[in-house]
Structure 1
Amino acid sequence: MTLNPRQRKLLDVVRHQRTVSVEELAQQLDVTPQTVRRDIKLMEDAQLLARYHGGVGLPSSVRNIDYNQRQALNSDAKRRIAAAVAGQVPNGCSLLVNIGTTTEEVARALVHHQDLHVVTNNLNVAAILADNPGCEVIIAGGVVRARDRGIVGEATIDFIRQFKVDIGIIGISGLEEDGTLRDFDPREVKVAQAIIEQSREVWLVADHDKFGRQALVRLAHASQIDRLFTDAKPPEGLAKALKDAKVQVVVAA
């Protein structure tokens, strides 16, 4: 779903307060409780919120949103982020690209680049870039996850460690206020950490819904990335953490 301004504010309130009642949300948003309940139902279906006894809160930090839902969520924002990334990727460079719906959009935005050498553990990224005759695609070995065609496992990590690339492009599930990058699957996290280690520059792609989102596993810290490509200005606390970590923030128009 694409959130309207009221729904965006509702989500921001819940992220700030963790749990909040329908009546309090209605008061803060200056709308009726019925309107709040309708918004909550839509956002619960998209797994952005979860209902608890007496109110609403953030969904579990243990389970990610289903892949098909993530594909549709903020799709326009992801395309804008991808276009911004493609505008800064030079022809003739080497890339490591990990699992994620935003990194898949980046692959689509790179289909006309020339002389790229791309190593990926994402079969969707590989399939997209295989249509570009000016791109060499190298697929990591390992265990294929049926739900999103990501490749994970120790064999994947060992394979990636053979390379040293110009740019590593990674997606995440959550970016906390202190600059901590988080995700859900420990196996996926280990692969992403290997990508960070083997990249001369690390570019993070994350739409605004990732700001403050809870996820179980620590992946890295903002100090380990060089650029953040997003679609909205980060909130104040996160913006300070990114500035302190000397991360270049690119907000896609």
Structure 2
Amino acid sequence: MNLNPRQTRLLEQVRAQDVISIEHLAESLGVTLQTIRRDVQLLAQAGLLARYHGGVRLPRSTTENLAYQQRQELNAAGKQRIARAVAQAIPHHCSLLINLGTTTEAIARELLNHQGLRVITNNLNVAGILAGNASCEVIVAGGVMRPIDRGIVGETAVDFIRQFRVDIGLIGISGIEPDGTLRDYDLREVKVAQALIEHSREVWLAADQGKFNRPAMVELARLDQIDRLFTDAPPPEPFPALLAEAGIDCVVVP
């Protein structure tokens, strides 16, 4: 579904509070209960919200991610702001490893005017976007293509990534749990991302506010393996202390 501005604000409020009542949503957004119930019904049918008696919360499946198109639309404005900030921090003439995710794809779109980049990726969407930059050399990992998002996964991709050592590894993530673990859903995807982390001189994580306190099944890494975090809102508790303890440079995009 294409979200209107009110529905986008509704999702942002649910992400910020995790669980919220219908009445509170209606009051904070300045609309009727009937309007909010209609929006909630549409968002729940799209898999973006989970309903319970009297309120809503975020979906909490630890085994299955949202559909790719839903992830593209979810907080698209926040991801774009993150992508712009990441691209501004990336110097010209450097090497990058970029993994799967709608946020990393947004970053690729912001790199179209960079000069002299060499990018290794297991994301065919990223490769297709950066094909529009004649000054960028794109190297695509081999392996099994995951049809849902055109990601390349599997042991062949892992072995391919291990041939390189790059300046910056850019990763997206499905969830950051309160114990400091970064998590995702597909073990094959996680293995490639772990190789990316191991073969990057610096690791930058791009994660919008909806990723905090979101559970997923497979541990990808821990916060102390990350050098910089780019996000679109101040991280909620207990993450400020965890980020400080891990020594992460946290960039909150205005």
TM-score calculated relative to the size of structure 1: 0.88
Q: 1:39: Cα distance to partner?
A: 4.0
- CA 1:130–1:8 in structure 2 vs 1: closer, same or farther (change >3 Å)? closer
The one-letter amino acid paired with 1:9 is Q
The one-letter amino acid paired with 1:126 is A
- For residues 61-210 of structure 1, what are the structure 2 equivalents within 5 Å? 61-210=62-211
In 2, the alpha carbon distance for the partners of 1:231 and 1:201 equals 21
Secondary structure, in 3 states, of the residue corresponding to 1:167?
strand
Q: 1:246: Cα distance to partner?
A: 0.9
In 2, the alpha carbon distance for the partners of 1:218 and 1:37 equals 36
Question: Contact (CA 8 Å) 2:26, 2:33: kept in 1 or not?
Answer: no
In 2, the alpha carbon distance for the partners of 1:61 and 1:36 equals 27
The one-letter amino acid paired with 1:62 is T
In 2, the alpha carbon distance for the partners of 1:218 and 1:75 equals 25
Aligned match of 1:10: 14
The one-letter amino acid paired with 1:98 is N
Question: Contact (CA 8 Å) 1:204, 1:227: kept in 2 or not?
Answer: yes
In 1, the alpha carbon distance for the partners of 2:15 and 2:79 equals 19
The one-letter amino acid paired with 1:236 is E
Q: 1:6: Cα distance to partner?
A: 4.8
In 2, the alpha carbon distance for the partners of 1:79 and 1:233 equals 16
The one-letter amino acid paired with 2:43 is M
2:46 counterpart of 1:43: no
Question: Contact (CA 8 Å) 2:131, 2:138: kept in 1 or not?
Answer: yes
TM-score calculated relative to the size of structure 2: 0.88
Q: 1:95: Cα distance to partner?
A: 0.4
Secondary structure, in 3 states, of the residue corresponding to 2:89?
coil
- CA deviation string 1:8-35 (max 9, x = no partner): 333443x3x6xx7xxxx14555747545
Q: 1:199: Cα distance to partner?
A: 0.5
Aligned match of 2:242: 241
- CA deviation string 1:62-121 (max 9, x = no partner): 111111121122222111111101101011111000011110111111111111110000
In 1, the alpha carbon distance for the partners of 2:212 and 2:47 equals 15
Greater Cα offset, 63-72 or 96-105: 63-72
In 1, the alpha carbon distance for the partners of 2:237 and 2:135 equals 41
In 1, the alpha carbon distance for the partners of 2:57 and 2:22 equals 15
**Structure 1 vs Structure 2: percent identity of aligned residues?**
59
Structure 2 unaligned regions, length at least 5: none
Structure 1 unaligned regions, length at least 5: none
- CA 1:124–1:26 in structure 2 vs 1: closer, same or farther (change >3 Å)? closer
State the aligned residue count. Answer: 245
Give the CA RMSD over aligned residues: 2.1
